[in-house]
Structure 1
Amino acid sequence: MKSLSITNRLLILVAVLTLIPSYFTPLWQISLWAPQYPEGLNMKIWIDHLSGNVDQINGVNHYIGMKHIGVEMFPEFTYLKYVMGAIISLGVVFFLIGKRWSLYSFLGLLTLFGIAILADMYRWGYEYGHELDPKAAIKVEGMVYQPPLIGYKQLLNFLAYSGPDTGSWILMGGVGMLMLAVFLDWKGK
């Protein structure tokens, strides 16, 4: 089995280190703007909690029958920090092994983890935007309120945005380091 160059091993280590800020920075954000909220309402999603204008968003969403947003809605908060810890540990093992397969395995693991997170967020957004209280004060026939997974979407008089926050950008930088390592590995053949 071919060993990796020192450069590629260091790129694996840098990628591992980029996972650590996920414990201390928000990973995702959802923002809403409307004429009555020109400054916007913002919700930050962290590895184990929510922050921002969650109460105000709940107050607005109540009128159209959306569920109350709370930590209890996200069972992922109870185990995601442990999953991230396991991925960090595996990344250190892959760095120490320093073989070509360890580089590709770590990149594959992070890619699958990212896809799983996005799929889970889509599922949550779909349920949140479609499972409305039939007794809601405001009903618009045929209207669903699923927030966008990534990007902007008009929902009645609100412009909604959903996208990566600081922690996710750092994580993507780590994946970029692994992709650079793969490129250098191919180039070195």
Structure 2
Amino acid sequence: MKSQKLIRPVRLLTGLCGMALLIVLFVPLWQIELDAPQYPEGLVLQMYPHKLSGNVEIINGLNHYIGMRTLHTEDFIEFTLLPYIIVFFALFSFAVAFLLMTYRWLSTLFSLFLVFGITAMADFWRWEYEYGHRLDPDAAIKVPGMSYQPPLLGYKQLLNFGAYSIPDTGGWLFLAVGAALLAAMIFQYRINPKKGT
């Protein structure tokens, strides 16, 4: 089974995964939206693979008062590494689709992609924890026992701000690629090895 050649639909789906990952390089991966009475239009922090975007300066100004660190793209090594990791998975997908073409390599691609996804989310949670808990003791506004860790996914109330953390275009594409690779593996697994061409 492991050396079974991939059927054409599976190879095409894997190739499409590679194309989707290249698109991820140019769109935001994640966003945190902030809603408060004084900002009826809302504020948004967007995370691209290589930078922070959105209302970064306004958010930094607000966070200064409660002792949170300011956000700067250059402070995160993830924004240096992530584009290379995405390109690696895109090229790996193309290689599985058009060169390697066996179930063994498809399962290796999916396994590595899954490990990367779990590691990335764990790293994101760690960043949010440090960002929300390591506060400046000399901050202008101090609320005893209060921390400001944004939610990993979903909604959380932070003082008078409601914070929504959700995938953006790139995040949804990542999830779609993971689901597509899993579907490709399941579909290929159901094919009789003698029919794999």
Query: TM-score, structure 2 length as denominator?
Result: 0.92
After superposition, give the CA deviation of every residue in 1:96-154 in whole Å (9 maximum; x if it has no partner): 21101111111111111111110110010000000000001111111110000111100
Looking at structure 2, the residues matched to 86 and 188 of structure 1 have their Cα atoms a distance apart, in angstroms, of 28
Choose 70-79 or 58-67, whichever is displaced more.
Answer: 70-79
Matched, 1:153 2:148: no
Map Cα deviations across residues 54-91 of structure 1 (whole Å, 9 max, x no partner): 01111111111000111122111122111222222222
- Look up the SS of the partner of 1:33 in the other structure: strand
Which residue of structure 2 aligns with residue 107 of structure 1?
Answer: 110
Secondary structure at the residue paired with 1:19? helix
Measured after TM superposition, the shift of residue 188 of structure 1 is 2.1
Q: Select 1:165's aligned residue among 168, 173, 179.
A: 168
1:180 aligns with 2:190: no
8 Å contact 1:27–1:46 — kept in the other structure? yes
How big is the alpha-carbon RMSD for the aligned residues of Structure 1 and Structure 2? Answer: 1.1
Show the 5 A alignment for 1:29-178.
Answer: 29-95=31-97, 96-178=99-181
CA contact (8 A) 2:45 2:53 kept: yes
Q: Could you tell me how far 1:160 is from its partner in structure 2?
A: 0.4
Aligned length: 189
TM-score by length of 1: 0.96
Tell which deviates more after alignment, 146-155 or 67-76: 67-76
Q: Is the 8 A contact 2:60 2:70 kept in 1?
A: yes
Amino acid at match of 1:183: I
Query: Any conservation in 1 of the 2:50–2:80 contact (CA below 8 Å)?
Result: yes
Q: Secondary structure at the match of 2:44?
A: strand
Name which of 2, 5, 18 aligns with 1:3: 5
Partner Cα distance (1:154, 1:23) in 2: 31
Shift of 1:186: 2.8
Rounded Cα–Cα distance in structure 1 between residues aligned with 2:47 and 2:92: 25
Q: Contact conserved, 1:27 with 1:164, CA < 8 A, in 2?
A: yes
C-alpha distance in structure 2 between counterparts of 1:152 and 1:14, whole Å: 32
Where do 5+ consecutive residues of structure 1 fail to align?
Answer: none
Q: Which runs of 5+ in 2 are unaligned?
A: 193-197
The 2-side partners of 1:134 and 1:27 are apart by 32
Do 2:17 and 2:90's aligned partners in 1 also have CA atoms closer than 8 Å?
no
